[in-house]
């Protein structure tokens, strides 16, 4: 049926875990490469626990798989160079390069005709004052690389501006009424399929819930899907991507893209016959994409930190699907699992 039998996954967290489960349903094996703790290893065929500087381990890993994908963006370039010399990496290196750096990402989005928040490059602390003069206050200073779930971000208000400690981008505030996200997939044959946009709610920089349907006008959701399709086509992308957008009086503004399965797409596990994880496996393995049509209304809620104590009650709740990630002790801000509630 297909030449791909074993998929290598860079990263061993919850996304790698759920990708491995999805692959197993299609009769495929996953090999995890993770320098640290690897919850994905509990359900994968094989695990390599080694650093991204270990060339021998990287080479052995690559030679044991047919194709390589990743569950997070910040894989060192040197490791990717070695891996790509042995096996194909999907999504491609351009998608990684664009998404790893906020300045590169926003520049790319503007170049393909998509709107973003106004932004300015802030390579050093000495450049911050000039950037504030151009972008204004209030604004948000974000590190160009490595920031996620609100990390590496500083709000610039009326007082003295705090420095992030690393090359950054200053983003102007956006007057938005809602944040939505589109989970979109593109196959090796160029086929594009998108799931329904979800409505996202964040607290303290961390996604708390995603609701589908999002409750917005059809014209807005259609535009969101078209924007996501434009991005994956421009990148010659293979795999699933998460695209976050702000709904504003002037139209949709792209907040950020993630070249992987995405937290805001977990609802697809309860709402679609083929969820985002299987869709990604299909794409990177060269299989036909599945039907992303939604057959249920769903609210996805992240279980963060001490939310883990609610699990016994959640397990008793009707129409509720519980996903736990097999991590260690809970701590504030740590994603321990999620639940999908079917609401209609």
Enumerate the known binding-site residues for ATP: 102, 142, 147-153, 171-174, 179, 202, 255-256
Q: Where are the alpha helices (DSSP H) in 36-101?
A: 55-63, 77-84, 93-100
Q: Provide the edge-to-edge strand list for the sheet that holds 6-10.
A: 46-48, 29-33, 6-10, 67-70
Q: Phi and psi at residue 226, in whole multiples of 5°?
A: -65, -40
Distance between CA atoms of 91 and 237, rounded to whole angstroms? 6
CA distance 185 to 153: 29
- Assess contact for 170 and 103: CB atoms under 8 A: no
Which regions of 144-177 does DSSP assign to beta strands (E)?
153-156, 168-172
Give the Cα separation of 97 and 94 in Å (integer). Answer: 5
For residue 153, the surrounding DSSP H or E stretch is strand 153-156
Task: Provide the pairing of β-strand 6-10 with 67-70.
Answer: parallel
Residues annotated within a binding site:
102, 142, 147-153, 171-174, 179, 202, 255-256
For residue 187, give the DSSP letter: -
Note the residue count of the chain: 344
Whether the CB-CB separation of 187 and 279 falls below 8 Å is answered with no
Going by their DSSP bridges, the two strands 335-342 and 320-324 should be labelled as antiparallel
Distance CA 31, CA 204 (A): 34
Q: End-to-end alpha-carbon separation of the chain, Å?
A: 37
Q: Which residues pair with 274 in a beta bridge?
A: none
């Amino acid at each position: 049926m297909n030449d791909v039998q074993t998929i290598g996954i860079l990263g061993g967290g919850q996304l790698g875990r759920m990708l491995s489960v999805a692959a197993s349903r299609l009769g495929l094996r996953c090999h995890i490469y993770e320098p640290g703790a690897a919850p994905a290893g509990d359900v994968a065929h094989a695990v390599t626990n080694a650093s991204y500087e270990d060339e021998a381990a990287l080479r052995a890993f690559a030679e044991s798989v047919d194709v390589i994908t990743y569950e997070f963006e910040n894989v060192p370039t040197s490791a990717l160079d070695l891996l790509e010399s042995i096996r194909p990496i999907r999504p491609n290196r351009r998608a990684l390069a664009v998404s790893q750096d906020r300045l590169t990402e926003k520049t790319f989005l503007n170049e393909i005709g998509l709107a973003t928040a106004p932004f300015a490059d802030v390579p050093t602390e000495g450049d911050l004052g000039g950037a504030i003069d151009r972008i204004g206050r209030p604004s948000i200073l974000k590190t160009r690389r490595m920031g996620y779930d609100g990390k590496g971000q500083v709000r610039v208000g009326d007082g003295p501006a705090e420095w992030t400690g690393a090359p950054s981008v200053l983003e102007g505030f956006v007057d938005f009424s809602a944040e939505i996200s589109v989970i979109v997939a593109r196959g090796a044959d160029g086929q594009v399929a998108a799931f329904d946009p979800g409505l996202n709610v964040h607290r303290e920089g961390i996604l708390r819930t995603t609701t589908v349907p999002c409750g917005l006008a059809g014209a807005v959701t259609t535009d969101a899907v078209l924007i996501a399709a434009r991005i994956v086509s421009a990148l010659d992308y293979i795999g699933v991507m998460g695209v976050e957008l702000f709904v504003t009086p002037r139209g949709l503004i792209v907040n950020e893209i993630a070249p992987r399965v995405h937290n805001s797409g977990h609802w697809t596990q309860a709402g679609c016959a083929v969820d985002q994880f299987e869709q990604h496996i299909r794409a990177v393995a060269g299989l036909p994409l599945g039907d992303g049509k939604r057959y249920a209304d769903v609210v996805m809620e992240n279980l963060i930190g001490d939310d883990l104590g609610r699990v016994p009650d959640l397990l008793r709740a009707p129409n509720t699907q519980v996903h736990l990630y097999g991590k260690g002790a809970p701590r504030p801000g740590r994603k321990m699992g999620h639940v999908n509630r079917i609401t209609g």
